[in-house]
Chain A
Amino acid sequence: MEKDIIQKLKDSGLTGRGGAGFPAGVKWEAVKNASQKFSVKTYIICNAAEGEPDVFKDKFILDNYLPEIINGIKIALNTFENSVAYIYLNHNYYDESKDKIERTASGLPISLVKKPDKYIAGEETSVIEVIEGKRPEPRLKPPYPTEAGLWGGPTLINNVETFYYVSKVSKGEYKNTRFFCVSGDVKNKGVFELSENFTVKEILRQTQNFPEADFFVQVGGGACGQILLTNELNQPVCGAGSIVVYDKEKTDLFELMKKWADFFIKGNCDKCVPCREGVYRISEMVKTRKIDKKILEDLCFVLENTSFCPLGKSAAISFKSLINKLIIPTGKLF
């Protein structure tokens, strides 16, 4: 039995890599407590649902570090008594890697589940719904999955990258790094494992991706991430570990916004008003290439403040930052 992995995780400062950045040790402890308190079956879910544009680090980790991931899950299986695990996979990854993963995980109580092709199906409570055979829709919280998740049991749900690092932490090999996807108008597109404290600028420099031409970036996901200008690059990457570089001259901002809108409209669950209708109205507006600033502000306001789940809340971030930083200063289009 792994000794004191929870303490080790806490000491390491490892945070969840699904985007929300919740301290891993605290989450594991909560599951452990719930598991002991109710002494019921405990569920472990390794989330490899990855589905946002320009984010592809989970795939990279699955392709390159599968044994480490499985080891991370095994540590969890050993930590929580009477537990079973699921690996929840993006539908493409499932089709490509199912056999390989099953081979690597053989002998362990690990099942594979294919994610429906819908972005919201990657949100943690939606993942639980899907495994239970329901529609991919977020649940009301509380109760949190740590207490009452899959089939009502205590549930640990961590990103695939988190499990990779759990393995590293347990071996004492964790060096506060994380995986970053760098893409867009760059020369050296790829996934890079670098210090988690690196700023956007440092990452671009370190990976030989700092553009020569004038540019802006979208950081923290190719749809939900915020837009940063070149004078804002001295900050670390928040949210999903991705940086997309856009050539300022060549990029059609409305096409970019259309890409986001299409993504959200297809990927959301349609149950709450601000996300279903707000995203639709933004997408209609973007299509006309005319932005009514007042209406957009209103829509972003309800998305950010009243959406049911983080998807709707994050949908506002990208539009708001792009319009405030790149469209308003030009004085056009209003």
Chain B
Amino acid sequence: MKIYINNKKIKVREGQTIFEACKENGIEIPTLCFHPDLKVKAYCRICVVQIEGRKGLYAACSTKTEEGMKITTESEEISRARKINLELIFSQHQEECYDCVWNSRCQLLELAKKYEVEINKFQDRKKRYPVYNFGPVQKPILNFDSTKCIDCRNCVEICEKQGVGFLELQERGNFTEVFPSEKKEKDCVYCGQCITHCPAGSFEAEGEFEEIEKPFRENNGKLIIFQIAPSIRTSIGEEFGMEHGTAITDKLVAGIKKLGADKVFDVSVGADFTTIEEAKELKEKLETGQNMPMFTSCCPAWVKYVEFYYPEFMPNLTSARSPQMMSAGLIKTYFSEKNNISPENIFLVSVMPCISKKYEIQRPELEINGAKLIDYVMTTRELARLFIKRKIDLNKIKPQKADSPFASPSGAGVIYGASGGVMESVLRTAHKDITGKELKKIEFKEARGKAGIKGANIYMGNREVRIAVASGLGNGKKILESLKKSPNLYDCIEVMACPGGCVGGGGQPLPTSAEIRKKRAEGLYKIDKKGKVRLAHKNPEVKEIYKNFLTNERIIREICHTTYSKKEKK
């Protein structure tokens, strides 16, 4: 099919929208409510264009191209419409650009400049609207500031798509608006996808701005230890203008040191412990056939999802702790003993791609000796903001290695950040556990890629292991529903709450899309490929700790494993 855009002849495929045709041909069309992860809704009316022979303006995102269509994407009339609609959008949105997850790089501001929008033309309609906190009353996890909401409803859609449905539409006076559900059977699991899909910065992690200095202000002279998650090494660079997927582990370590941290540890080493414990459990479960299939439990949003929405599946969750908690436990015991520092004198901060990790550290099930292990969880965005505030430019900093004894992860520990990574790591180690032999071919490509649900039958010797990998809680829900009907479908299942896994986490830099997540994941797989040690159980640091510290079942159980309990809405 041929169409004309701004008098230029363009070939399009049947069914392509005007927006898609423009994008493919490098013609810029402004959008706001459009998000590549979501359905086309056409609510914001910013992407409007003219079509010859038709009255009015048409939304480029939702209008399909037709043979011979003549489209104009810029004109006085179009600019006028965009400007007025933007002014109306700004009339809902209370600006707080100085503390916004978008770090002043949002589409709203960009368009305001482009269309010379008077952002205060109308009084803010939502000035007196409330801020809703989600999570425990004492220590909420994230919040929804409805004074900023522009009613694009992306959050409602993603929350529904996540299989959660906690954000819903309700009437407020004459308006239909977004509310957190009051229903007892709906609760937030803190995946934070509302944050990454809101164009207006209405959602943010609790303390995302106010508390980022906390580790350096409230440490009371304690030893400040930072531990960094696998996935953030290929995403934080985006905040400094680097290409998506650029791996900067050592620069990141150097940056954190410059902030004033005494030690920087790599949570990917913790992930290696998780792999070993999980592989052990998988082997046992395959033998006994009890509580099968086994579910991964690294993702606290997934864990809460099971505990709240599908408690009947709690016995399926592996008892192995998540990497963040695994390494935190070892820091507060092994490291502490070895270096003669009392655990109370360590101020431990995690940097995570994730909102629900802020919740995970509050779980009483994860305390050791009655004490919480981690003092503060900072997201990728928060850390970047702190760097920027302190004028630390990761482009220019001299790289530094992470600190021993959690300095050198296996490649398996690094790929935890991508959907399928945990599964692949566990399979690499389980193969040895089950067959007694090391793998010839280390990679499990079946577990990789951006598909929402991936499945494969893997052979370990004669034994067939049926695996499934889901990312995006909605896909996790699909698997749970299919297990309700046929419990014997799989042996091992990995679920990550966020699309693409942790690379698409709720704490990651904005914006996000499948393309961006793919590049972040590729960055992680490259690290694995280049690494000398690619198997968790071959990691010398890990072996050392098993040899000298995790020497009996009791201590392993205490530090490396956990329990689950049914959660109710409070």
Contacts and interface: CB of A to CB of B under 8 A. Distances in A.
B151 interface: yes
B489 interface: no
Contacts of A280: 125, 174
A269 interface: yes
Given A273-B45, A277-B88, A277-B91, A305 B174 contact: no
A274 interface: yes
A277 B42 contact: no
Interface string B487-512: 00000000000000000000000000
B174 A301 contact: no
B64 interface: yes
Interface of B: 40-46, 48, 56-57, 59, 62, 64, 77, 80-81, 84-85, 88-89, 91-92, 122, 125, 151, 153, 169, 174-177
Contact of B84 (A140, A265, A301): A301
A301 B151 contact: no
A248 interface: no
18 contacts: A135-B169, A140-B62, A269-B176, A271-B176, A272-B43, A273-B46, A278-B88, A280-B125, A280-B174, A298-B84, A299-B84, A301-B84, A302-B45, A302-B88, A304-B56, A306-B57, A306-B85, A313-B56
A266 B175 CA distance: 8
B340 to A, nearest CB: 63
A193 interface: no
Given A271-B151, A281-B88, A306-B45, 4 more contacts: A271-B41, A274-B45, A274-B88, A306-B48
A299 B85 CA distance: 9
A273 B80 contact: no
B42 A270 contact: no
A277 B169 contact: no
Nearest to A271: B43
A273 B43 contact: yes
A114 interface: no
B354 to A, nearest CB: 31
Contacts of A277: 88-89, 91-92, 125
Nearest to B57: A305
A142 interface: yes
A273 B89 contact: yes
Contacts of B45: 272-274, 302, 306-308
A140 B175 contact: no
Interface residues of A, number: 26
Contacts of B85: 273-274, 302, 306
Interface of A: 135, 140, 142, 265-266, 269-274, 276-278, 280-281, 298-299, 301-302, 304-308, 313
Contacts of B175: 270, 276
Query: Which residue, of B56, B85, B88, has the highest number of chain A Cβ atoms within 10 A?
Result: B88
A298 B82 CA distance: 11
Contacts of B89: 273, 277
Contact of A270 (B46, B48, B122, B151): B151
B198 to A, nearest CB: 16
Contacts of A274: 45, 84-85, 88
Contacts of B151: 270-271, 273, 276
Contacts of B91: 277, 281
Nearest to A302: B84
Nearest to B33: A273
The list of the 5 closest CB pairs from A to B, nearest first, reads A277-B88, A270-B176, A306-B45, A305-B56, A265-B174
Contact of A306 (B56, B64, B174, B177): B56
Contacts of A278: 88
A261 B42 CA distance: 24
A179 B88 CA distance: 39
Contacts of B92: 277
Contacts of A265: 174
A313 B55 CA distance: 11
A301 B83 CA distance: 11
B258 to A, nearest CB: 45
A308 B42 contact: yes
Contacts of A306: 45, 48, 56-57, 59, 81, 85
Contacts of A308: 42-43, 45, 59
B81 to A, nearest CB: 5
Nearest to B172: A270
Contact of A140 (B40, B48, B56, B174): B40
A306 B45 CA distance: 6
Contacts of B125: 277, 280
Given A272-B43, A273-B89, A301 B64 contact: no
Nearest to B40: A140
Contacts of A266: 174
A135 B160 CA distance: 15
B123 to A, nearest CB: 9
Contacts of B169: 135
Nearest to B91: A277
B16 to A, nearest CB: 14
Contacts of B176: 135, 269-271
Query: Which residue, of A140, A273, A278, A301, has the highest number of chain B Cβ atoms within 10 A?
Result: A273
A304 B153 CA distance: 23
A270 to B, nearest CB: 4
A63 to B, nearest CB: 31
A273 B41 CA distance: 12
B66 to A, nearest CB: 10
Nearest to B47: A306
Contacts of A273: 43-46, 85, 88-89, 151
Given A272-B42, A306-B45, A142 B64 contact: yes
A306 B174 CA distance: 21
B44 A302 contact: no
A266 B173 CA distance: 9
Contacts of A302: 45, 81, 84-85, 88
